[in-house]
Amino acid sequence: MEKDGIVFLPTPGSGDGENVFVRRMIKLLSVKYNVKGIEQVSNDWKKIKNIKAVILNWVENDLDGHLKRYVVLYKIFGVKICWVFHNRVPHEGNKDLQIENMRWMANHSDFIFLLSKASKQHLPNRERNAKKCIYLPHINYMEAYPASERDIREENAIREDVFVFAFLGLIRPYKNLEILVQAFCELNLENAKLFIAGNVQSGTYIEELRKKCLSSDRVILKPGFISNGEMEAFIRASDVVVLPYSKVSSMNSGVMMMAFSYGRTVIMPDIAMGKDIKNKQLAFIYDYRDENENLEKLKGKMLEAYQKGKKEVHSMGISAKKYVKHNNSEKRVWDALKKAGI
């Protein structure tokens, strides 16, 4: 007998470039369900009646009338509509339209999955939709990346005693990497380097960032795709991962989960996921009101991490790994999904 189905967006795919959260969630759900893309089910009622739930990620970026009709149709057939609330507001694009899409999704969902408890305060139409919320721990990334034979420090002539601040992941304007470079250069720490590596979405932004990086020969910029087989080597080369994200749009961070899962602590502002761990001594969390304060608070936390030294920040990373191994385990994720009847 065929397993019940789950419709998951983005569509389940394959390949090295697939979002790690998506890949991990599909792998988890596939243990119990037949996970499909919406185009595999479409409006075929014979297929719809075998669907247990629809889980939607980032659909506010492209929520057209076609997808809205599917949502309404599936609800008529009794399929549970579950929306994962990833971002406070969209990072880019037509924000007014996308915010309206977020309101529509919140209003039409049966359940709203929160990847961080503190994100509930940013929920669209909160009074109306708060009862739909379920805390779904952001699944950890343990075993998401295989061990790599590469030695990133050796490849870039970085001695083992050098303290490495690193940014890893998609290079996008909302991540404030120009502020990170400025903070590092102004600190002028004697035995430290800043390593920025990841895929690029904007040619204009990377050129601006490249010019900033020329301010210091201790800033290493490596734009380009990092494969799943290489990511572990980049994490291992770092001492602390720095994520000076915009608080306007950001609530959660897959890169934080990646760093924690591989034993590295982070420096980041108190976006919702940061608020959840602020008092647990796992990371360097700070608040800021504007870009100038972001710069100064970021510098303070980078200096604090550097002064603590490699041994102590690595110890924080080990504690962070233990935390997500338990709090963000597959069991905890299943416990949350069961509350939505999945």
**pLDDT-derived band of residue 27, with 50, 70 and 90 as boundaries?**
very high
C-beta of residue 323 within 8 angstroms of C-beta of residue 282: yes
- Structural domains of the chain sorted by starting position, each given as residue range(s) with its CATH number in brackets: 5-136 (3.40.50), 152-326 (3.40.50.2000)
pLDDT of residue 102 exceeding 90: yes
Question: Got the DSSP string for 271-285?
Answer: -HHHHHHTTTTSSEE
The tokens for 252 are 């959660």
Count of residues for the chain?
Answer: 342
Q: Is the pLDDT of residue 1 over 50?
A: no
Phi, psi of 130 (to 5 degrees): -60, -35
Q: Which of 131, 147, 337 is nearest to 233 (CA)?
A: 147
CB atoms within 10 A of CB 16: 11
CB contact at 8 A, 281 and 319: yes
Average pLDDT over the chain, rounded to whole? Answer: 94
Range from 110-114, 156-160, 179-183, 275-279 carrying the lowest mean pLDDT? 275-279
Which amino acid, residue 201? Answer: Q
Model pTM score: 0.94
Please write the tens of the pLDDT for every residue from 187-241: 999 999 999 999 998 789 999 999 999 989 999 999 999 999 999 999 999 999 9
Q: CA-based diameter of the chain, in Å?
A: 67
Per-state percent for the chain, helix, strand, coil, to nearest 5: 45, 15, 35
- Helices (H) then strands (E): counts for the chain: 15, 12
Is pLDDT above 80 for 15?
no
pLDDT of residue 17: 53
Edge-to-edge strands of the sheet including 192-198? 219-223, 192-198, 163-168, 240-242, 265-269, 284-286
C-alpha 70/C-alpha 75 separation (Å) is 8
